[in-house]
Amino acid sequence: MAENSTESTIYRLNVSVFDSFGNPVEKAEVCIGDDCRESPALFELEKGCYAINATYELAFNTTELCLESDTDFGLYLDFKVLKVTVVNCSSSPLPAIVNASAVGLSFEKRTENGLTTFNTSFEVISMRISAEGYVEKSLSVNLTENPEIIVVLLEKKVTFYLGNDENYETLKKLESDGESIELFRVGEEVDFENRSLIFLANLNQSVCEDIASKTNATLVSFNASLGYNDTNISKYWSTEVRRIYGIW
Which range marks the domain in which residue 48 is found?
A: 10-77
Q: How confident is the chain (248 residues) per 10-residue block, as mean pLDDT?
A: 59 97 95 96 96 97 96 96 96 97 95 97 96 94 96 90 85 77 90 89 87 88 56 50 52
pLDDT of amino acid 164:
86
Q: Is residue 89 part of a domain?
A: yes
Same domain membership, residue 95 and residue 143: yes
Give domain status of residue 223, yes or no: yes
Listed residues 104, 119, 152: the one ending a domain: 152
Whether 218 is in a domain gets the answer yes
Tell me, what's the pLDDT at 138?
96
Assess if residue 233 is contained within a domain: yes
The answer as to whether 196 is a domain residue is yes
Domain count, the chain: 3
Q: What are the DSSP E strand ranges found in 20-104?
A: 29-32, 35-38, 41-46, 48-56, 59-67, 71-77, 80-87, 97-102
HSE, side-chain direction, 13 A CA sphere, residue 72: 2
Residue 40 has a pLDDT of 96
* Domain identity same for 111 and 33: no
pLDDT at residue 241 in the model: 54
Q: What is the CATH number of the domain that holds 85?
A: 2.60.40.1120
User: What's the confidence (pLDDT) of residue 228?
Assistant: 44
Query: Do 136 and 202 have their domain in common?
Result: no
What's the CATH code of the domain at 163?
3.40.50
- Number of Cα atoms under 13 Å in the Cβ half of residue 62: 6
Q: What is the sign of the dihedral through the CA atoms of 68, 74, 78 and 80?
A: positive
pLDDT at 165: 84
Residues 97 and 53 in one domain: no
Backbone φ and ψ of 173, nearest 5°: -65, -40
Domain termination site, one of 122, 152, 182: 152
Last residue of a domain, which of 102, 127, 152? 152
Examine the domain organization and report whether 166 and 233 are in the same domain: yes
Spatial distance between the Cα atoms of 96 and 107, rounded to a whole number of angstroms: 14
For residue 153, the model assigns a pLDDT of 95
Does 174 lie in the same domain as 128? no
Indicate if 128 and 177 belong to the same structural domain: no
